[in-house]
Amino acid sequence: MSIVDLFLNYLSRSSVVTIAVLSWLSIYFLVTFWIIIYRYLSLNSLIKREEDSLEAILMGSTTVRADSILRKCTTEYKGSSSIFEICINVAERNATLYLSALSVISSTSPFIGLFGTVVGILETFSKLSGATSASLNIIAPAISEALVATAGGILVAIPAYSGYILLKRKAYDYLSIIEREKAFLISTLEKDTDN
């Protein structure tokens, strides 16, 4: 019997609640991996862009590169400290996009799985209440099937939490590069006003 057959057999014996829980967890699983891949690639792109911009100003450029998030702060607004903070807040918002979704998924999916398990166990005992005798051979498979939902919840939570930590670190790296650019630009602007 293949895994697909086992899964289809499991679903045919499952209640509507169990199927809803597993569907919910499946959606969470797909969303988790979409967020991780999309944000990882976009943060890498943002980090590379700002690293190149920082390197350019360290090598003698008078301003950040045209594709830097700080470009508008230095050209249109003449680099005031409060304007830099607004630009950094925008960068922080961009860097942490979808992190809250990963946090919610990683914290709620085990509880969703546990809910499915509790409902499955309650249904098992409800079915057994009318039986004259129940042996371990009857109870064990039903309870093990109910535990699939908890395993599913944990299976979703682990990559969601790991992705959250990974992307949070990437966002921190991105923001630290921007902070270095800002510090260098402010010191350059102060030096220019002193002269």
23-39 pLDDT, tens digit per residue, is 999 999 999 999 999 99
Given a contact cutoff of 8 angstroms between Cβ atoms, the answer to whether 178 and 91 are in contact is yes
Residue 14 burial (CB count, 10 A): 21
Residue with tokens 């699939």: 148
CA–CA gap between residue 168 and residue 46 (Å, rounded): 14
Q: Which one-letter amino acid corresponds to residue 88?
A: I
Token code pair at residue 123? 């249904």
Judge residue 43's burial from the number of C-beta atoms within 10 Å of its C-beta, 0-12 exposed, 13-18 middle, 19 or more buried: buried
Of 152, 148, 149, 159, give the one whose Cα is nearest residue 31. Answer: 159
What integer pLDDT is reported at residue 194 of this predicted model?
Answer: 58
Low-confidence ranges of the chain (pLDDT < 70): 75-80, 131-132, 134, 189-195
What integer pLDDT is reported at residue 177 of this predicted model?
Answer: 94
Residue 194 burial (CB count, 10 A): 6
What integer pLDDT is reported at residue 193 of this predicted model?
Answer: 58
Judge residue 6's burial from the number of C-beta atoms within 10 Å of its C-beta, 0-12 exposed, 13-18 middle, 19 or more buried: exposed
The values of phi and psi at residue 133, to 5°, are -145, 150
CA–CA gap between residue 75 and residue 193 (Å, rounded): 16
Of 135, 113, 153, 139, give the one whose Cα is nearest residue 17. Answer: 113
The single-letter DSSP state of residue 2 is -
What integer pLDDT is reported at residue 190 of this predicted model?
Answer: 67
Q: For the whole model, what pTM was predicted?
A: 0.84
